[in-house]
Amino acid sequence: MIADSVGKIRERIDLACRRAGRDPSEVRLLAVSKTFPAESVREVVSSGICDIGENYVQELRVKREQLADDRIRWHFIGHLQTNKVKYVADWVHLIHAVDSARLAAEIDKHAARAGRKIDLLVEVNSTGEESKYGVPPGETEALVKELARFDNIRVCGLMTMSLFDPDPEVSRPVYRGLRQIRDNLAGLRQENLKLKHLSMGMTGDFEVAIEEGATIVRIGTALFGKRQRR
Ligand SMILES: *Cc1c(COP(=O)(O)O)cnc(C)c1O
């Protein structure tokens, strides 16, 4: 069943790319497995998806140990507390939601200890909702510049969450805005600063996100089904 869902989503990604004149290889499908068991992750991996996202550190660590599969690239997509960085620093593939220099400093420190560079995205609070994390759009440039000072992280792009609305068109201006912020910062270039990724789009609006330039879409429900409440 998960294999069927993967096929259908891939088709929809291809169609959205075609509409937007983009190459489907530019869009990565990130499977968001939160609340689902390791067995479900195994199924998506068998279907060829190796990018897996979780938003709780503990859940991520447990599944990683249960699966012990080196093909998997583990993404952290939730709000990362500074005191939890140490648990993921050795192996995390991409941290999606960095919104402060303080968190980046902690990631930098643990990356140095681990002898690696850690890739991250800056989360932008595009909708201005107080319940959301992320840096306000107008402060993104200043934060990105600040993060570029750290030697052991690489700032690879921006991430955002849209409004929860059944109409995907509501997300379009949000995603277009994120792309504009990125394009405005494209001139900033240094070794650890290459804003190539836009992590945006979920089950309800990933096609709109692709049309607006997403390079990573984060999909849970359309792959695994409805989540039980925690
Ligand atoms: C849960 C989650 C998703 C996936 O949401 P779906 O609507 O189930 O596809 C994407 N991004 C983040 C940050 C999430 O927490």
In order of 94, 95, 170, 190, the CA distances from 75 in angstroms are 5, 6, 26, 24
Instruction: Give residue 188's pLDDT.
Output: 87
Burial call 59-82: b when 16+ CB within 10 Å, e when fewer:
bbbebbeebeeeebbbbbbbbbee
Closest atom of ligand 1 to 55 CA is 15
CATH assignment at residue 35: 3.20.20.10
Residue 187 Cα to ligand 1 midpoint, Å, equals 30
3-state helix, strand, coil in the chain (%, to 5): 45, 20, 35
| Atom 11 of ligand 1, residue of closest alpha carbon | 218
Domains contained in the chain, number: 1
Question: Using one digit for the tens of pLDDT, what is the confidence trace for 51-108?
Answer: 999 999 999 999 999 999 999 999 999 999 999 999 999 999 999 999 999 999 999 9
> What is the model's pTM?
0.97
44: in domain: yes
Which pLDDT tens digit goes with each residue over 146-196?
Answer: 999 999 999 999 999 999 999 999 999 999 999 999 999 998 878 899 999
Place of tokens 């990933």: 206
pLDDT on residue 189: 79
Closest C-alpha residue for ligand 1 atom 6: 220
User: Alpha-carbon distance 55 to 77, whole Å?
Assistant: 5
Q: What is the distance in A from the centroid of ligand 1 to the CA of 151?
A: 30
Answer yes or no: is 229 within a domain.
no
What CA–CA distances, in Å, run from 227 to 44, 46, 221, 223? Answer: 16, 21, 7, 11
43 within a domain of the structure (yes/no): yes
Whether residue 63 lies inside any domain: the answer is yes
Decide if 200 is inside a domain: yes
Q: Which domain holds residue 115?
A: 2-224
159 DSSP β-pair partners: 123, 199
Q: Which of 12, 36, 52, 55 has most ligand 1 atoms within 8 Å of CB, for mutation? A: 55
Nearest to 176 by CA among 211, 143, 128: 211
- Asked if residue 78 is part of any domain, the answer here is yes
Residue 230 confidence class, pLDDT cut points 50, 70, 90: low
Instruction: Assess if residue 230 is contained within a domain.
Output: no
Share of the chain above pLDDT 90, in %: 94
- Give the whole-number percent of the chain exceeding pLDDT 70: 100
Which ligand 1 atom is the nearest neighbour of the CA of 206? 9
Specify if 77 maps to a domain: yes
Distance, in Å, from the CA atom of 3 to the CA atom of 195, rounded to the nearest integer, reads: 32
Pocket of ligand 1 (CB under 6 A): 32, 34, 55, 77, 161, 202-204, 218-222
Question: What is the number of the ligand 1 atom nearest to the C-alpha of 219?
Answer: 9
The answer to whether the CB of 31 falls within 8 A of the CB of 3 is no
| pLDDT of the residue at 36 | 97
Query: Which ligand 1 atom is nearest residue 34's CA?
Result: 1
Quote the CA–CA distance of 13 and 29 in Å, as a whole number: 9
